[in-house]
Amino acid sequence: MTHDLTTTNAASIKKLAGIDAARGWAILLVIMVHTPGVMPELPYPLKKITSFGWYGVQLFFIASAFTLLNSWYRDARPVGIKTSHFFLRRFLRIAPMYYAGAILYYFLRPPSQGFDINQLLLSLSFINSWSPSWIPTTESGWSVVPGGWSISVEFCFYFVFPVLAFFAASTKRSLLLFTVSIFIMLLGYTIGNAYYMPLYGMQATEQFLYFWLPNQLCIFAIGFIIFSALNATHQRLDSFLHFLRYKAGLVNLFGIILLLALTQIGIIKHLSSSFPWIPTHLVVSIIFGFIVIANLMSPRPSPLLINPFICRLGAVSFSAYVLHWAVIDLVRRCGVVLNLSMISGWEAIGVFLLVVFPFVVILTYGLSKLTYQFVEQPFIRLSSYLIQSRLFQAAAVEKPHPVRQT
């Protein structure tokens, strides 16, 4: 028998530190994939491992879906009211730091083809992930904020979230959503490939169809599954969840071994009729999902995976995502003076792991704490103030419950 989450008090979940840790590891992975550009002679075996930091974005998507559902089901107000509050909070949570990043990178990484007002407006309105020339995957395109594709995909997910949240009302529904999202992935690739390939060519189209929401929706659905599994009881799942709860260390070890093994197989971006058949980002995200749920449920989560530094890094991870490219650019300029590009072999591995990567992480964290305090937090408080204002209170049936900002 499945327990409907609409009757569940989701505030009973006291695992937000685990989600902060997931975000912390996500940004570490993202920094890890971009930092090796500072040291081009880094040995190839290590580069293959660092390249998997690419999938830190998927861990962000999983954590985002979980935390949004956590807030959604803690809010007892009518759907229309909490939907309007949801969009206001999400916009003021994301847009200010993103817009600050657009200003920063206009000067640090000015557009090679000159200023393009259309591209700027498409990016600032978060709809740039719907065309290869907007995102962009074309050679001449202007990326207003580096890595902005994931922010656009996240924002597009917000537009459909209130509808999709219905599917988190039970484990069965969230699994159904995951299944449907796989079909959407396949259908989106088929239709998108037929439409965009003649216009933009194979390389730009293939990259774009990896980035866009139809290819990433199943990753958000994994976050839905984690949330519903933690909040709903199902006899068939009880023994499996019991195993995850008390064998989190084994799940962590096995999951990390699988991830390391995947780094040696190669990357596939779309469903394929040949091995390994399943897109790598989906396989990696499923492994992430097991690790996340095991540590959220465990009475003794791994101190290696969930610790104060990782949680603090996760708390400022959005700022860190926006800023880490600027930090890497700075380190690259310093690297020219220090001849980092000439270091190779074991020396390169040591310098990267012990000096360059830690320095990028620490500097990014320090700067992100500042922008989190002076850019993100004021607008988070503004969203709370506006929701408490007469404009919103007049439409509210009851006084809103306090909800932690995510």
DSSP string, 50-78: HGGGGGHHHHHHHHHHHHHHHHHHH--S-
Mean pLDDT score, 69-90: 89
Residue whose tokens read 């800023």: 323
Q: What is the pTM of this model?
A: 0.90
Query: What pLDDT band is residue 76 in, cutting at 50, 70 and 90?
Result: confident
3-state secondary structure string across 220-264: HHHHHHHHHHHHCCCHHHHHHHHHHHHCHHHHHHHHHHHHHHHCC
Going by the DSSP 8-state scheme, the letter that residue 110 receives in this structure is: -
| Residue 349 near residue 48, CB atoms below 8 Å | no
Query: What totals of helices (H) and strands (E) does the chain contain, helices first?
Result: 18, 0
Two tokens, residue 369: 């704490």
| Sign of the dihedral through C-alpha 104, 105, 107, 113 | negative
Mean pLDDT score, 285-309: 90
Residue 13 has pLDDT above 80, yes or no: no
- What is the pLDDT, as a whole number, of residue 237? 67
Query: Half-sphere exposure (CA, 13 Å, Cβ side) for 368?
Result: 25
**Cα–Cα–Cα angle for 111, 114, 115, rounded to 5 degrees:** 85
pLDDT digits (tens, 9 = 90+) for 185-237: 999 999 999 999 999 999 999 999 999 999 999 999 999 999 988 876 665 66
Q: What share of the chain is helix, strand, coil (3-state, %, to 5)?
A: 75, 0, 25
Cα→Cα distances 28→62, 257, 303, 365, Å: 15, 18, 16, 10
* Pairwise CA distance, residues 258 & 182, whole Å: 22
pLDDT digits (tens, 9 = 90+) for 174-187: 999 999 999 999 99
- What is the pLDDT, as a whole number, of residue 10? 40
> Residues with Cβ < 8 Å from 65, sequence gap 6 or more?
157, 220, 221, 222, 223, 224, 227
Going by the DSSP 8-state scheme, the letter that residue 78 receives in this structure is: -
Domain limits of the chain?
5-393
* Pairwise CA distance, residues 215 & 199, whole Å: 20
pLDDT digits (tens, 9 = 90+) for 108-154: 999 988 899 999 999 999 999 999 999 999 888 899 999 999 999 99
* Pairwise CA distance, residues 355 & 74, whole Å: 43
- What is the pLDDT, as a whole number, of residue 277? 78
Report DSSP letters for 263-280, one per residue. Answer: TTT----S--SSTT-S-H
For residue 171, give the H/E element and its range: helix 171-200
- What is the pLDDT, as a whole number, of residue 394? 57
Mean pLDDT score, 239-257: 83
Where does 265-356 have alpha helices with state H?
280-297, 308-315, 317-338, 345-351
Beta strands in 35-182 (DSSP E): none
* Pairwise CA distance, residues 322 & 261, whole Å: 30
* Pairwise CA distance, residues 340 & 35, whole Å: 12
> Residues with Cβ < 8 Å from 48, sequence gap 6 or more?
263, 264
